[in-house]
C-alpha cells in the first residue's frame, strides 16, 4: 500500500500539488562524471563521451583554472550540474547563500539540468559532508516537498533528485523509499535520478528485492541513471564509488532500461580514479547494453 497517497493533505502539500510545469529534460546519451584527473585527456583528445556531469561544489569557486576548464568542457559537451550539499531533507533553515552560488554557477554553465540527492547533510549550522538518511514518514514527505518547491522557485526550474545508498533504516518509517520518491516527484514536480548502484546497495543492506524498488518508481519521472561501484563488507555494502561496476549492477541496469527506456546515463567514479581509457570501457558498455535491449531512441515515444 502506498501510505503516502492515503495521508491527509496538509496546507503545504496542497500548495505543492500543483508544481510549475517543466519540460522533461532531453535524452543526452552516455556520459561520464567529470573528474580533474581526466581534464587533459578530454580536452586534448576527442573521447566518445556524449555528455558530462560535474560536481557543482567543485566549481562554486571565485575563479581560476577549474572554472576555465569547465567553460571549455561546456563549449564542447552538454553538461549537467550535480550537487552534494543541497541538503534538501534537512530541517535546518534553507541556506540561501548556497542557493545563490548554485544559481550563479547555473547561469554560467547553462546546464541541461541541476541535480542533488534525497538526503540531508547537517543541522545546527554544521555540515557533515555525507548523504544522510531520514525516515520515510508523511511528515518528512511534506517537509521535503516544501523544500523542493522552494528550491525550484529559487532556481526557476525543476530539479532532479537522486536516491542515495543507505546503511540504516528507521523504526518510524511509514512508507518505502520508492513510495517516498514517487510521491515526492508527483507532488513537487521534481525529476528523478535513478542511481542503479545505490538501489542495489540499499536493497542488499535492508534486505529487499531491488526489482521492487525498480517497479515502484514511476517510469515517466526518471531522467538520469548513475552507474558506479561499491565495497562489499559481507554483511553490508558501502557505496564507495571506487570500484568498477559489478556484474549484479550491470544486470540491474539492464532491468532498469527495460522499465524506463532510454535514459541519460553516466559512469560515476569518485575515488581510485583510473585512466580515462579504462572508464571509457564502462561508458561504452552502458551504450552497448542500451542499444542491444532497447528499440532505436528515434522510434520510442518519449
Binding residues for another protein (CB under 8 A): 57-58, 60-68, 85, 87, 90-91, 95, 98, 120-130, 132, 134-135, 137, 139-140, 143, 167-172, 205-207, 234-236, 238
Nearer to another protein, 6 or 235 (CB): 235
| Least distance between another protein and beta carbon 21 (Å) | 29
| Least distance between another protein and beta carbon 268 (Å) | 17
- Measured CA to CA, the distance from residue 218 to residue 181 in angstroms comes to 9
Q: How many CB atoms lie within 10 A of CB 155?
A: 14
Nearer to another protein, 28 or 86 (CB): 86
Nearer to another protein, 87 or 286 (CB): 87
| Least distance between another protein and beta carbon 36 (Å) | 11
In angstroms, the Cα distances linking 30 to 46, 287, 290 are 15, 6, 10
| Least distance between another protein and beta carbon 179 (Å) | 17
Nearer to another protein, 137 or 265 (CB): 137
Classify residue 97 by burial, with Cβ atoms within 10 Å: 0-12, 13-18, 19+.
Answer: exposed
Answer for the pair 36, 54: CB distance below 8 angstroms, yes or no: no
Cα end-to-end span (Å), the chain: 28
Choose among 108, 112, 107: nearest CA to 81.
112
Q: What angle is formed at CA 48 by the lines to CA 43 and CA 51, rounded to 5 degrees?
A: 75
Nearer to another protein, 126 or 292 (CB): 126
C-alpha cell belonging to residue 103? 544559481
| Least distance between another protein and beta carbon 119 (Å) | 11
Nearer to another protein, 69 or 190 (CB): 69
Return the DSSP state at 82: E
- Measured CA to CA, the distance from residue 21 to residue 42 in angstroms comes to 36
| Least distance between another protein and beta carbon 120 (Å) | 6
Amino acid at each position: 500500500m502506498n501510505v503516502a497517497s492515503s495521508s491527509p493533505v496538509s496546507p503545504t502539500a496542497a500548495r505543492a500539488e500543483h508544481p510549475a510545469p517543466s519540460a522533461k529534460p532531453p535524452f543526452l546519451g552516455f556520459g561520464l562524471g567529470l573528474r580533474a584527473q581526466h581534464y587533459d585527456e578530454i580536452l586534448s583528445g576527442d573521447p566518445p563521451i556524449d555528455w558530462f556531469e560535474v560536481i557543482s561544489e567543485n566549481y562554486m569557486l571565485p575563479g581560476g583554472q577549474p572554472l576555465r576548464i569547465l567553460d571549455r568542457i561546456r563549449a564542447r559537451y552538454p553538461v549537467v550540474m550535480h550537487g552534494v550539499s543541497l541538503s534538501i531533507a534537512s530541517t535546518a533553515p534553507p541556506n540561501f547563500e548556497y542557493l545563490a552560488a548554485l544559481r550563479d554557477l547555473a547561469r554560467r554553465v547553462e546546464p541541461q539540468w541541476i541535480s542533488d540527492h534525497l538526503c540531508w547533510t547537517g543541522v545546527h549550522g554544521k555540515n557533515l559532508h555525507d548523504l544522510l538518511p531520514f525516515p520515510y514518514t508523511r511528515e518528512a514527505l511534506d517537509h521535503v516537498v516544501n523544500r523542493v518547491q522552494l528550491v525550484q522557485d529559487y532556481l526557476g526550474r525543476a530539479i532532479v533528485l537522486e536516491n542515495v545508498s543507505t546503511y540504516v533504516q528507521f523504526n518510524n518509517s511509514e512508507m518505502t523509499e520508492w513510495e517516498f520518491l514517487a510521491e515526492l516527484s508527483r507532488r513537487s514536480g521534481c525529476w528523478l535520478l535513478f542511481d542503479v548502484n545505490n538501489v542495489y546497495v540499499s536493497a542488499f543492506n535492508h534486505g529487499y528485492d531491488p526489482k521492487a524498488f525498480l517497479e515502484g518508481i514511476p517510469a515517466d519521472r526518471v531522467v538520469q541513471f548513475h552507474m558506479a561501484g561499491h565495497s562489499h563488507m559481507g554483511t553490508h555494502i558501502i557505496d564507495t564509488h571506487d570500484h568498477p561496476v559489478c556484474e549484479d549492477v550491470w544486470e540491474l541496469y539492464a532491468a532498469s532500461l527495460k522499465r524506463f527506456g532510454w535514459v541519460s546515463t553516466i559512469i560515476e567514479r569518485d575515488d581510485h580514479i583510473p585512466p580515462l581509457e579504462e572508464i571509457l570501457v564502462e561508458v561504452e558498455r552502458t551504450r552497448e547494453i542500451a542499444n542491444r535491449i532497447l528499440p532505436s531512441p528515434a522510434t520510442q515515444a518519449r
